[in-house]
Structure 1
Amino acid sequence: MPKTSSPAATVTGSADDIEAAFYEALQRGDIEALMGCWSDDDEVFCVHPGGPRLVGQVAIRAAFEQMFGNGAIHATPARVRKVESIASAVHNVLERIEVLTSEGPRHAFVLATNVYHKTPHGWRMVAHHASPGSAHAPDDANEFPQTLH
């Protein structure tokens, strides 16, 4: 499948800039802009809540195209935690998802980790892993243990 150019493919700047472009593309349902945020590396991967691991741009694009078939995804990142180095950045975010129901808009929360690498084309996403969250905003101090054991 040939790669297409998109406005997001020309996004320059930091991993933060690519993350902002990614979430803006989700909110617009813009597959070209969304895929422009991803590295063209064959090993990029994405995991949606409860879904399988998708490897490569073709699989990732197909999953987002299917999701966009139901409309844009109203996801807003919040409570970002970052680990950054010269050539990589890991962002753990709480995604606030707005879902329209017959009773009006409802919100759900998803925990996501976004990984960015500095590539020859600038910063690009190489991984997005989202886990099911809850129907309410978690209280960082109470809902997430500081240790796993």
Structure 2
Amino acid sequence: MSEDSGAPSEDSELVDRANTAFYEAMERGDLEALSALWLGEGDDGAEDVTPSCVHPGWPVLTGRGEVLRSYALIMANTEYIQFFLTDVAIAVAGPTALVTCTENILSGAPAEEGSDLGPLVGQLVVATNVFRRTDGGWKLWSHHASPVLAETDQDESDEPPA
């Protein structure tokens, strides 16, 4: 974790905890805990913002209901998911915080016949999470995740020699 000013502040520590709680709720498939982490109509500081989310390959989802429905759908269709976060950077500016990170994701599809777990798939995604300070703590305002296109040996051989 890092912050623009160098030493971590109390706010950046709280944002880091909220960010970690977001990913842990996803790993557990806990929609109730995940919902509590998103800005809601009753949250102080949420009057002038609308939650939004972009999952890799999805269009922009706007509004708390649409965002939470997307997570319910993902959780219902994901047997296993684990996030290993790297390159986490946190910047706090007044009531808003920005977290950027790399999501190293390991996920499993539904189990195949005769198996406890379906095939595991690894994926690398970069994410930006925007948080808003409320009376109830730091809440997610926006999540935007984009896949990282890794270079393959084929890509390297297509380049002309130096």
Do Structure 1 and Structure 2 share a fold, with TM-score over 0.5? yes
* Structure 1 unaligned regions, length at least 5: 1-12, 137-149
Higher RCO, 1 or 2 (CA under 8 Å, sep at least 6)?
Answer: 2
- 2:137 counterpart of 1:126: no
2:129 matched to 1:114?
A: yes
- 8 Å contact from structure 1 (residues 92, 111) kept in 2: yes
Given the two structures, how large is their TM-score scaled by the length of structure 2?
Answer: 0.68
Counterpart of 2:43 in structure 1 is none
Q: Give the superposition deviation at 1:134.
A: 3.7
More displaced 10-residue stretch of structure 1: 20-29 or 42-51: 42-51
The higher radius of gyration belongs to 2
- Where do 5+ consecutive residues of structure 2 fail to align? 1-12, 41-45, 113-117, 152-162
Code of the aligned partner of 1:15:
V
Following superposition, the deviation at residue 52 of structure 1 comes to 1.0
Q: Separation in 1 of the partners of 2:125 and 2:53?
A: 14
* Greater fraction of residues in strand: 1
Provide the aligned C-alpha RMSD in A. Answer: 2.2
* Residue deviations 1:108-138 (CA, integer Å, cap 9, x gap): 10000001111122211100000112468xx
| 1:29 maps to 2:29 | yes
Q: Who is 1:51 aligned against?
A: 58
Aligned length: 124
Percent of paired sites with the same residue: 33
Asked whether 1:99 is paired with 2:107, we answer: yes
Deviation track 1:87-124 (CA, whole Å, cap 9, x = no partner) reads 22101110011033789533210000001111122211
